[in-house]
Chains A and B, each alone.
Chain A
Amino acid sequence: MPDLEIQLEVNGRKVRRFAKPYQRLIDFLRDDLDLTGTKEGCGAGECGTCSVFVNGKLVKSCLMPVAKANGAKIETIEGLAPPGELTTIQRAFYKTGASQCGYCIPGMVMAATAALRENPNADVEEIKERLGGNICRCTGYAKIIEAVEIARDVIAGRIGPAALEPESPVKSYIGSNVRRIDAPSKVSGRLRYAGDMVMPGMLHMQVLRSPHPHALIKSIDTSAAEALEGVACVITSADVPGKDGFGVFIHDQPVMARGKVRYVGEAVAAVAAEDIVTARKALSLIKVEYEPLPAIFDPEEAMRPGAPVLHDYAKDNIVKHIPIRKGDIEKGFAEADIIVEEKYETQQVEHAYLEPEAGLAYVDHDGVVTVISPSQNITHHRHMLAEILAKPINKVRFIMSPVGGGFGGKEDMIYQGMLAIAALKTHRPVRLVFTREESIISTAKRHPARITYRMGLKRNGRITAVSFKMISDGGAYAMSTEGVMRKAAILACGPYDIPNLQVDTYGVYTNNTPSGAFRTFGAMQVQFATEAHLDLCAEKLGLDPFEIRRINMMRDGALTHTKQKLGSVSLGRVLDAAEKASRWEKGPPNMRGPYRSDLGGEDTRPPCTLGARFRKVETPARQEVA
Chain B
Amino acid sequence: MLLCDEYLTVTTLGEALAELQAHRGRCKIVAGATDILPWAREGRAGDVHVPVLIDISRIPELSGYQVSNGRARLGANVVFQRFLTDDLLREHLPCMPYCAVWFADDQIREQATLAGNIVNASPAADGTPPLLAMDAEIEIARLVQGSIEHRSLPLSEFVLGPGKTALEPDEIVTAITCTSMAGYGGSFQKVGRRRSLVISTVCAAALAKIDSSGQVIEDVRVAVGGIGPVPMRLKDVEDKLKGERISQDLIARVSALAADRVASRTRQEYRRSVVCGFVQAAIEEALVACGAAAPGSTQKEAAHA
A64 lies within 8 A of B111 (CB): yes
Residue A162 lies at the interface, judged by CB distance under 8 Å to chain B: no
CA A575 – CA B37 in complex, angstroms?
50
Known contacts being A22-B4, A133-B104, A623-B298, is A44 close to B304, with CB within 8 Å? Answer: no
A45 lies within 8 A of B108 (CB): yes
B294 lies within 8 A of A626 (CB): no
What's the nearest-Cβ distance from chain B to residue A204, in Å?
A: 12
Residue B11 lies at the interface, judged by CB distance under 8 Å to chain A: no
Residue B42 lies at the interface, judged by CB distance under 8 Å to chain A: yes
A1 lies within 8 A of B5 (CB): yes
Residue of B nearest to A44 (CB): B38
Query: Which stretch from A33-41, A51-59, A212-220, A290-298 is at the chain B interface?
Result: A51-59
Q: Contact flags (1/0) for A98-125 with B, using CB distance below 8 Å?
A: 0000000000000100100000000000
Residue A175 lies at the interface, judged by CB distance under 8 Å to chain B: no
Residue of B nearest to A52 (CB): B107
CA A614 – CA B298 in complex, angstroms?
26
Query: Which of B9, B97, B196, B297 is in CB contact (< 8 Å) with A614?
Result: B97
B47 lies within 8 A of A21 (CB): no
What's the nearest-Cβ distance from chain B to residue A595, in Å?
A: 8
CA A284 – CA B47 in complex, angstroms?
10
Residue of B nearest to A435 (CB): B42
Residue B278 lies at the interface, judged by CB distance under 8 Å to chain A: no
What A residues does B294 contact at CB under 8 A?
A: 620
Residue B26 lies at the interface, judged by CB distance under 8 Å to chain A: no
Size class of A's contact patch? 35 or more
A133 lies within 8 A of B107 (CB): yes
Query: Which stretch from A65-73, A547-555, A565-573 is at the chain B interface?
Result: A65-73
Residue B84 lies at the interface, judged by CB distance under 8 Å to chain A: yes
A132 lies within 8 A of B195 (CB): yes
Residue B114 lies at the interface, judged by CB distance under 8 Å to chain A: no
Residue B3 lies at the interface, judged by CB distance under 8 Å to chain A: yes
A22 lies within 8 A of B3 (CB): yes
Most chain B CB within 10 A, of A22, A276, A620, is at A22
A59 lies within 8 A of B110 (CB): yes
Residue of A nearest to B50 (CB): A22
CA A528 – CA B53 in complex, angstroms?
51
Residue A91 lies at the interface, judged by CB distance under 8 Å to chain B: no
CA A114 – CA B81 in complex, angstroms?
14
Residue B219 lies at the interface, judged by CB distance under 8 Å to chain A: no
For residues 279 through 305 of chain B, which have their beta carbon under 8 Å from a beta carbon of chain A? 294, 297-298, 300-302, 304-305
CA A611 – CA B187 in complex, angstroms?
11
Size class of B's contact patch? 35 or more
What B residues does A280 contact at CB under 8 A?
A: 1, 47
A437 lies within 8 A of B111 (CB): no
Residue A24 lies at the interface, judged by CB distance under 8 Å to chain B: yes
Residue A62 lies at the interface, judged by CB distance under 8 Å to chain B: yes
For residues 343 through 398 of chain A, which have their beta carbon under 8 Å from a beta carbon of chain B? none
What A residues does B148 contact at CB under 8 A?
A: none
What B residues does A620 contact at CB under 8 A?
A: 294, 297
A70 lies within 8 A of B9 (CB): yes
Q: Contact flags (1/0) for B1-31 with A, using CB distance below 8 Å?
A: 1111111010000000000000000000010
Most chain A CB within 10 A, of B30, B34, B105, B294, is at B105
CA A614 – CA B87 in complex, angstroms?
11
Known contacts being A46-B197, A63-B37, is A625 close to B7, with CB within 8 Å? Answer: no
Query: Which of B7, B38, B106, B304 is in CB contact (< 8 Å) with A22?
Result: B7
Most chain A CB within 10 A, of B6, B102, B107, B196, is at B107
Residue B201 lies at the interface, judged by CB distance under 8 Å to chain A: no
What B residues does A611 contact at CB under 8 A?
A: 97-98, 101
A68 lies within 8 A of B110 (CB): no
Residue of A nearest to B57 (CB): A68
CA A133 – CA B30 in complex, angstroms?
22
B1 lies within 8 A of A277 (CB): yes
What's the nearest-Cβ distance from chain A to residue B4, in Å?
A: 5
What A residues does B4 contact at CB under 8 A?
A: 21-22
B1 lies within 8 A of A45 (CB): no
Query: Which of B42, B53, B297, B305 is in CB contact (< 8 Å) with A626?
Result: B305
B41 lies within 8 A of A63 (CB): no
Residue B43 lies at the interface, judged by CB distance under 8 Å to chain A: yes
A610 lies within 8 A of B102 (CB): yes
Known contacts being A611-B97, A611-B101, is A64 close to B5, with CB within 8 Å? Answer: no
What's the nearest-Cβ distance from chain B to residue A602, in Å?
A: 18
CA A199 – CA B69 in complex, angstroms?
63
B42 lies within 8 A of A64 (CB): no
CA A386 – CA B32 in complex, angstroms?
49
Residue of B nearest to A114 (CB): B106
Residue A339 lies at the interface, judged by CB distance under 8 Å to chain B: no
For residues 144 through 193 of chain B, which have their beta carbon under 8 Å from a beta carbon of chain A? none
CA A620 – CA B102 in complex, angstroms?
20
Residue B263 lies at the interface, judged by CB distance under 8 Å to chain A: no
Residue A4 lies at the interface, judged by CB distance under 8 Å to chain B: yes
CA A31 – CA B169 in complex, angstroms?
35
Most chain B CB within 10 A, of A46, A57, A63, is at A63
CA A612 – CA B79 in complex, angstroms?
20
CA A21 – CA B105 in complex, angstroms?
27
B301 lies within 8 A of A43 (CB): no
CA A62 – CA B40 in complex, angstroms?
12
What's the nearest-Cβ distance from chain A to residue B251, in Å?
A: 16
B33 lies within 8 A of A130 (CB): no
What B residues does A57 contact at CB under 8 A?
A: 110
B30 lies within 8 A of A65 (CB): yes
A63 lies within 8 A of B33 (CB): yes
What A residues does B7 contact at CB under 8 A?
A: 4, 21-22, 65, 67
Query: Which of A59, A435, A621 is in CB contact (< 8 Å) with B111?
Result: A59
Given contacts A21-B5, A43-B41, A284-B47, 20 further A-B contacts (CB under 8 A): A4-B7, A45-B34, A45-B108, A48-B107, A57-B110, A60-B107, A60-B108, A63-B34, A65-B37, A65-B53, A68-B30, A70-B9, A129-B196, A132-B195, A133-B197, A437-B42, A437-B43, A610-B195, A614-B84, A620-B297
- Nearest first, the 3 closest Cβ-Cβ pairs linking A and B are A133-B105, A594-B305, A132-B196
The 24 sampled A-B contact pairs (Cβ below 8 Å) are A1-B6, A4-B7, A44-B41, A45-B37, A48-B107, A57-B110, A59-B107, A65-B33, A65-B37, A67-B7, A67-B55, A68-B30, A68-B33, A68-B55, A111-B106, A132-B106, A277-B3, A437-B43, A594-B301, A594-B302, A595-B301, A595-B305, A621-B297, A623-B298
